[in-house]
């Protein structure tokens, strides 16, 4: 390689990296409210000398595209991250779930720092090293900050921008011409290298009942106990689903994440309806309609034992899975960069980790090879977890610095040097 990595890494400004991570935490950015953090990222990458473009996804929600121009003739590398946080701050939550940064004993705590604000600071640090060490890349580097990644989708009365997630900004990004030859996504893997994600579906199973007052409930068709039975049947279906749809690295999971039914303001009536909201993982290339028919078969089996069961299945969100062979140029190069920085072979995540979605899926639909490799995702207790139990989100400063050096080394390898 033309660049001397020791000289590159010697220029790393860890203080600036940590300060940026703190700033990012201190800007609340729940889904639908990413405007301020996008403005901050645009300003900071502009200060590094990148050409910055704001891409309006909807009013008050901008993707940020910051481009470092190469000398020409090399591939384009995208560093991708999302602005929105998986939860909103609340007074009753621990400090690691608050939009107020805390730095303590080598760790940074605060809402969104693991998933995945730290990546913006890591990308900044990588580009700062390349700038200050005088490395000239042949290809471009694009930092893409996108809105609306968190697994959310409007349904029933939950409507509006705060529910438009699920890769909303990333799809807008590629639909409007922003592309690259390679993409590194800094989602929280704990410095493990992940080359794919399962797809996922959000399904609503609507159970219809007939309402009666409590005193006449014996003639009601109560939707709630029927929903409970269906909940158990869906749990049994997961086992069969995994057998029918095997994958060498992914383990497709199924979970009922929410139940809503009846009339909270009048519990003197039996429930005339109950909805189960189901999260279903799919493996790459899996037929969405086939999954719907499988779930409908689960409902039909329950109906055979309860003729009064009136339930329908509706899908209200779907995202495809993707997978990149480990021996492809992008994962191979990131693995080499990791080995050079860390001095050890990179590891792969456990099969369950693939059930977490990422914005790599919409990119894959446009033929952009993408991997996930990030500093978050390993907690203070040594667990592969972006949360510290009872504390909230956190990231190791050491891991963040390491990730930034891997990003810089990978950029040199992938983009080439002049």
User: In the chain, where are the structural domains located?
Assistant: 5-198+321-415, 199-319
Q: Which residue has the tokens 């977890």?
A: 385
Please check whether the domain covering 199-319 is classified as CATH 2.60.40.10. Answer: no
Residue 320: which pLDDT band, with cuts at 50, 70 and 90? very high
pLDDT of residue 63: 98
Answer yes or no: is pLDDT of 305 > 60: yes
Give the right CATH number for 5-198+321-415 from 3.40.190.120, 3.40.50.300, 3.40.50.150, 3.40.630.10. 3.40.630.10
Q: What's the half-sphere exposure (Cβ side, CA atoms, 13 Å) at 348?
A: 15
- Average pLDDT, integer, range 228-243: 98
Helix axes 118-132, 397-415, angle to 10 degrees: 50
pLDDT given for residue 91 in this prediction: 77
How high is the mean pLDDT of the chain? Answer: 97
The closest of 147, 110, 146 to 386, measured between CA atoms, is 110
Q: How large a percentage of the chain has pLDDT more than 70?
A: 100
Cβ–Cβ under 8 Å, residues 316 and 153: yes
Mean pLDDT of 86-103: 91
Q: Which residues pair with 56 in a beta bridge?
A: 62
So what's the pLDDT on residue 263? 96
Confidence band (pLDDT; 50, 70, 90) for 87? confident
Q: Is the pLDDT of residue 245 over 60?
A: yes
Confidence of residue 2 (pLDDT cuts 50, 70, 90): low
pLDDT in tens, 247-262: 999 999 999 999 999 9
pLDDT digits (tens, 9 = 90+) for 339-394: 999 999 999 999 999 999 999 999 999 999 999 999 999 999 999 999 999 999 99
The pLDDT, as a whole number, for residue 385 is: 95
The dihedral through the CA atoms of 51, 57, 63, 67 has a sign that is negative
Task: Pick the closest to residue 50 from 160, 126, 157 (CA basis).
Answer: 126
């Amino acid at each position: 390689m033309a660049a001397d990595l020791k000289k590159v890494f010697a220029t790393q400004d860890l203080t600036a990296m940590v300060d940026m991570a703190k700033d990012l935490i201190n800007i609340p950015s729940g889904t639908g409210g990413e405007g301020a953090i996008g403005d901050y990222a645009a300003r900071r990458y502009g200060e590094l000398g990148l050409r910055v473009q704001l891409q309006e996804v909807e009013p008050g929600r901008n993707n940020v595209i910051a481009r470092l121009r190469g000398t020409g003739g090399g591939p384009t590398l995208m560093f991708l991250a999302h602005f929105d946080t998986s939860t909103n701050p609340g007074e009753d939550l621990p400090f690691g779930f608050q939009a107020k940064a805390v730095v303590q004993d080598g760790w940074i705590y605060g809402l969104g720092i693991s998933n995945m604000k730290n990546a913006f600071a890591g990308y900044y640090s990588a580009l700062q090293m390349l700038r200050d060490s005088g490395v000239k890349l042949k290809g471009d580097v694009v930092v893409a900050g996108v809105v609306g990644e968190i697994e959310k989708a409007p349904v029933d009365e939950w409507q509006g921008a705060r529910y438009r997630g699920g890769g909303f900004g990333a799809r807008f990004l590629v639909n409007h011409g922003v592309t690259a030859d390679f993409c590194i996504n800094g989602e929280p893997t704990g410095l493990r290298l992940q080359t794919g994600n399962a797809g996922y579906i959000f399904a609503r199973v609507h159970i219809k009942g007939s309402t009666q007052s409590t005193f006449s409930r014996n003639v009601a068709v109560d939707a709630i106990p029927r929903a409970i039975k269906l909940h158990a049947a869906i749990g049994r279906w997961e086992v069969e689903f995994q057998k029918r749809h095997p994958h060498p690295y992914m383990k497709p999971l199924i979970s009922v994440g929410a139940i809503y039914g009846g009339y909270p303001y009048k519990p003197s009536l039996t429930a005339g309806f109950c909805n189960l909201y189901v999260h279903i993982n799919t493996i790459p290339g899996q037929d969405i309609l086939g999954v719907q028919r499988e779930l409908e078969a689960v409902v039909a089996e329950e109906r055979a034992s309860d003729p009064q069961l009136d339930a329908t299945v509706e899908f209200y969100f779907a995202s495809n899975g993707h997978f990149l062979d480990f021996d492809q140029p992008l994962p191979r190069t990131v693995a080499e960069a990791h080995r050079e920085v860390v001095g050890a072979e990179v590891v792969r995540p456990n099969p369950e980790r693939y059930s977490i979605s990422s914005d790599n899926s919409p990119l894959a639909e446009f033929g952009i090879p993408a991997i996930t490799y990030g500093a978050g995702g390993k907690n203070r207790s040594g667990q592969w977890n972006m949360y510290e139990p009872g504390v909230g989100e956190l990231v190791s400063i050491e891991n963040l610095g390491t990730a930034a050096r891997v990003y810089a080394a990978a950029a040199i390898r992938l983009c080439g040097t002049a």
